[in-house]
Amino acid sequence: MHIQPLLNYISNFVTLTDEEVDILSSKISCRNYLKGQYVVQQGDICKYEGFVISGCTKTFYVDDAGQEHIIMFSIEDWWVSDMGSFITQTPADFNVQCIENTQLIMFYYDDIEDLYREIPKLERFFRSIVEKGFVAMQKRLVRNFSQTAKERYVYFKNQYPKIEQRIPQYMVASYLGITKEFLSKIKGQLALEE
Amino acid sequence: MHIQPLLNYISNFVTLTDEEVDILSSKISCRNYLKGQYVVQQGDICKYEGFVISGCTKTFYVDDAGQEHIIMFSIEDWWVSDMGSFITQTPADFNVQCIENTQLIMFYYDDIEDLYREIPKLERFFRSIVEKGFVAMQKRLVRNFSQTAKERYVYFKNQYPKIEQRIPQYMVASYLGITKEFLSKIKGQLALEE
């Protein structure tokens, strides 16, 4: 199992002993998904949190009118889950679908309490990453309130250059909450400004 | 110090021993704010996270055009902070201002690492509450994308009936991302439907 990227990532927050790495390895598993496959489907109970080893996913919500709203993209070193569903074990609001073939390391709900008990510093690790996620989500909410679509696009392009190259434009538009025609117009304007 | 509401709240997540309660009490402090005073000001470094014992605050962002955008309200048993500023100790994006006289229990940045070391189960406690906060923020983002202003108002009114009674209508409008005139119109429509 290609666990090294996860260990490198964890080492930014806490230091695990060799024994703790062994315990961790025994409680997680690797899973491969094909492009187009779903990691989580709206309505199902989300049984895991996944760490992206390779690939790219989109997390989205489909409203009552059938409209898709992309909440986030995840690439290497990011996380995928419906956290609301995971922590309460109730049906998921979100879908997570693979935009590329994707390899994840899965933390299962049934094992995570054992992991916390056997490696208490993982509480700290997960606290830290959820804090970062909360802050990112709060800032995204503010941008949606206070920035124009053009400003949001420029922010996205600058902040996540690696993601923009990997995903179709209509998904970028959905993430920004605009139509793909409007995104084309914004990109046309920006090209003229350069 | 009126610490009991905090202890009751913590007991929903973890069980503290008497000794741990003593340690906790020695590392936190109570602070009173008057209506209109600021707990956090945009640009300052946020040095604490506050638990609301009594009162009500609004957390808001002022954009470049001077427009105020309310991100959240906090009443009894909620938290106030600019978490992004708190965890990175960089200038705050948000303001937290008291809408009523407000009493907070403060967790100071300089003491929180000691608290985590001396009471490791607080890692679990804070992980759990930040997870809940993350989920709430994600759901709010989805509502902003996918619901009409009227649907968002009805959700707010049903979800937070105690808050709506305590705050001026123009603040509800700001929270919903609409003008107060539009909110009046929505309320007029709803009154006719009843």
Going from the C-alpha of A94 to that of each of A59, A127, B1, B174, the distances in angstroms are 6, 22, 43, 27
Alpha-carbon distance of A126 to A87, in angstroms, equals: 13
Tell me whether B178 touches chain A (CB under 8 Å).
Answer: no
More confidently predicted of A1 and B33: B33
**pLDDT over threshold 80, residue A1:** no
* Averaged pLDDT, A9-38: 96
- One-letter amino acid at A161 equals P
pTM of the full structure: 0.90
The average pLDDT across B130-156 equals 90
Cross-chain Cβ contact B140/A141 below 8 Å? yes
Model ipTM over 0.90: no
Cβ of A120 within 8 Å of Cβ of B120? The answer is yes
| CA A56 – CA A74 distance, rounded (Å) | 6
Distance between CA A172 and CA B20 in Å, rounded? 49
- pLDDT tens digits, residue range A82-141? 999 999 999 999 999 999 999 999 999 999 999 999 999 999 999 999 999 999 988 888
Is the predicted pLDDT of residue B156 greater than 80, yes or no? yes
Å from B151 to nearest chain A CA?
A: 12
Asked whether the predicted pLDDT for residue A14 surpasses 90, the reply is: yes
For A:21-40, CB contacts with B below 8 A are: none
- For residue B162, the model assigns a pLDDT of 86
Rounded-to-integer distance, Cα B68 and Cα B71, Å: 10
pLDDT of residue B1: 66
Rounded to a whole number, what is the distance in Å from the CA of B31 to chain A's nearest CA?
Answer: 24
CA-angle at B99, arms to B37 and B92, nearest 5°:
55
The tens digit of pLDDT for each residue in B55-111 reads: 999 999 998 889 899 999 999 999 999 999 999 999 999 999 999 999 999 999 999
Q: Residue with structure tokens 């008990």?
A: A117
Q: What is the mean pLDDT of residues A11-15?
A: 96
Average pLDDT on A1-26 reads 94
CB–CB contact A146 B71 (8 Å): no
Contact assignment for A71 to B141 by CB distance below 8 Å: yes
Out of 3.40.1390.10, 3.90.230.10, 2.60.120.10, 3.90.1170.30, select the CATH number for domain A4-120. 2.60.120.10
> Torsion angle, CA of B36/B56/A128/A37, rounded to 10 degrees?
-120
- Cβ–Cβ < 8 Å for B107, B49: yes
Domain boundaries, chain B: 4-120
Does B87 contact chain A (CB < 8 Å)? yes
